[in-house]
């Protein structure tokens, strides 16, 4: 297994940040919703100190925004934000794929093949998205650049948050998207397995660009 960070500081703040992150991404907290520290402290059964620290983590991850008055709200994602998130993904993942291609092994190929197989059998759109993201994460980590992976995590969470709303807005995922997306994954794998950095970067960029257009058809 691949570990990205040595060990995060294990304290209540980090615990709370992780839980809140999951809740925000899954839509448990709605965009624009105010996050008052006393309420959250009560919810988690702690004092305000760890809650405040958790909010800073979430703000840095872009899931939450501070107002000039000090209030904290769940970040609101608009059309423009989704474009930004995808552009950031392309920037980071192109480089990630480029680096990964130079270090790719047969074991990596097998991992991706298993993932693709699972994607094809995924029972739901949500499950498919999880497998999709997990595969992209694997490639990013495989690139071996911890900073790139860390930056990518931030974008990934914002992307997942956006995905939750797109799903809610558009109902079910377009059925063809999955087939189309898997096709893209196969192309990426081919480039990676061939050890072609330039090709891998280009194919990955195209794959991300393609798949997002299924969500927001212009």
Partner DNA sequence: TAGCTGTGAATTGTCGACACTTTACCCCAT
Partner DNA sequence: ATGGGGTAAAGTGTCGACAATTCACAGCTA
Q: Which is nearer to DNA, 11 or 26 (CB)?
A: 11
Interacting residues of 185 by C-beta distance below 8 A, sequence separation 6+: 112, 115, 116, 119, 132, 135, 207
Q: Which is nearer to DNA, 21 or 141 (CB)?
A: 21
151 binds, among a second copy, DNA, none (CB under 5 to 8 A by kind): a second copy
Among 18, 19, 46, 87, binds DNA (CB under 7 A): 46
Among 22, 32, 43, 49, binds DNA (CB under 7 A): 49
Least distance (Å) between residue 91 CB and a second copy:
4
Q: Which is nearer to a second copy, 57 or 119 (CB)?
A: 57
Binding footprint of DNA, residue count (CB under 7 A): 21
Least distance (Å) between residue 81 CB and a second copy:
8
Q: Which is nearer to a second copy, 89 or 178 (CB)?
A: 89
Least distance (Å) between residue 50 CB and a second copy:
10
* Integer Cα distance of 210 and 18 in angstroms: 31
Binding site residues, a second copy, CB under 8 A: 6-11, 13, 49, 52-53, 56-57, 60, 62, 66-68, 70, 81, 84-85, 87-88, 90-92, 94-96, 99, 145-148, 150-151, 154-155, 158
Q: Which is nearer to a second copy, 53 or 113 (CB)?
A: 53
Q: Which is nearer to DNA, 36 or 194 (CB)?
A: 36
* Integer Cα distance of 50 and 17 in angstroms: 9
Residues interacting with DNA, by CB under 7 A?
9, 11-13, 35-39, 45-50, 52, 67, 69-72
């Amino acid at each position: 297994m691949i570990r990205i960070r040595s060990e995060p500081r294990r304290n209540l703040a980090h615990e709370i940040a992780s839980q809140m992150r999951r809740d925000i991404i899954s839509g448990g907290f709605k965009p624009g919703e105010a996050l008052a520290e006393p309420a959250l402290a009560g919810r988690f059964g702690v004092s305000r100190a760890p809650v405040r620290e958790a909010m800073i983590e979430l703000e840095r991850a872009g899931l939450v925004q501070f107002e000039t008055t000090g209030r904290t709200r769940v970040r609101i994602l608009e059309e423009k934000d989704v474009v930004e998130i995808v552009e950031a993904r392309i920037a980071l993942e192109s480089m990630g794929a480029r680096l990964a291609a130079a270090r790719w092994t047969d074991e990596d190929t097998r991992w991706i093949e298993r993932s693709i197989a699972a994607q094809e059998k995924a029972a739901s759109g949500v499950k498919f998205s999880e497998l999709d993201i997990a595969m992209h994460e694997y490639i990013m980590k495989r690139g071996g650049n911890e900073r790139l992976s860390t930056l990518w995590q931030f974008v990934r969470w914002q992307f997942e948050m956006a995905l939750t709303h797109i799903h809610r807005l558009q109902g079910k995922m377009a059925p063809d998207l999955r087939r189309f997306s898997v096709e893209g994954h196969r192309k990426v794998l081919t480039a990676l397995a061939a050890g072609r950095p330039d090709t891998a970067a280009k194919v990955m960029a195209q794959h991300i660009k393609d798949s997002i257009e299924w969500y927001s058809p212009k």
